[in-house]
Amino acid sequence: MMHYFSVEILHFENSIIISQIVSDQSTTNLDIYNKSTAQRNKHFRICYLLFECSATTLEAVKSTGAIKKVTFADPIPTIDSKIEGALDEESYTVVQRNKRLSKVRTVIHGTAANTELKGAIKHAYLHVYRLDKDTSVNDIQGYLKSKNFKDIICEKLASKHPDEYASFKISVPITILEEIKSPNLWPVSMASWNMH
């Protein structure tokens, strides 16, 4: 179990007097001045330092009644002087976040015509909607095959208004995309747009 103790410090000009050590269990008074007088005197400033320690260290600190006065060559800086010092250009460093370098990926597009490997055919997707509500996937595939379009994949979508019209997602090879988007191919009042 960790214990805590705080050291109450009275600061008078360039001397620091440890007035008392306050622990979480008891108080050992090391005051060499009357604390109430010190608080009323404008030359004194009181501050507390909090330390974390074990039970043995706490007992050792409480028993150090001999240490009562610590003298510094220079007066302890006040809060105002610390703030003024912080505003000096040389006393602080501006920290900036490191920029992440984005990886540049080189894409290689093959140009060899006759090889043992074959590249996958790119597909485009069309959203075809406002067809009759009774239209099926087989109806669309059969219609497009009759117009000499091959390798068509069709999927029925959930329509916003299933009582009024049917919607479909059609996957077509990118090589025939412009032909299949021709308005002359599709019935009146039907609509379509590219999904990707």
Per-residue pLDDT of 9-54, as tens digits, reads: 444 444 444 444 444 443 333 333 334 344 444 444 444 444 444 5
Backbone angles phi, psi at 17, to 5 degrees: -110, 125
167 backbone φψ class: left, alpha, beta (φ>0; ψ -120 to 50): beta
Half-sphere exposure of residue 154: CA atoms within 13 angstroms, side-chain side? 20
Residue type, 190: M
Residue 99 within a domain: no
Residue 111 within a domain: no
Number of domains, the chain: 2
Residue 89 within a domain: no
Token readout for 167 is 């919607």
Give the Cα separation of 55 and 85 in Å (integer): 39
Unique residue bearing structure tokens 């597909």: 123
Residues 99-128: pLDDT tens digits?
Answer: 777 788 888 878 887 778 887 888 899 998
Residue 90 within a domain: no
Is the model's pLDDT at 155 over the cut of 70? yes
User: Domain containing 27: what range?
Assistant: 3-76
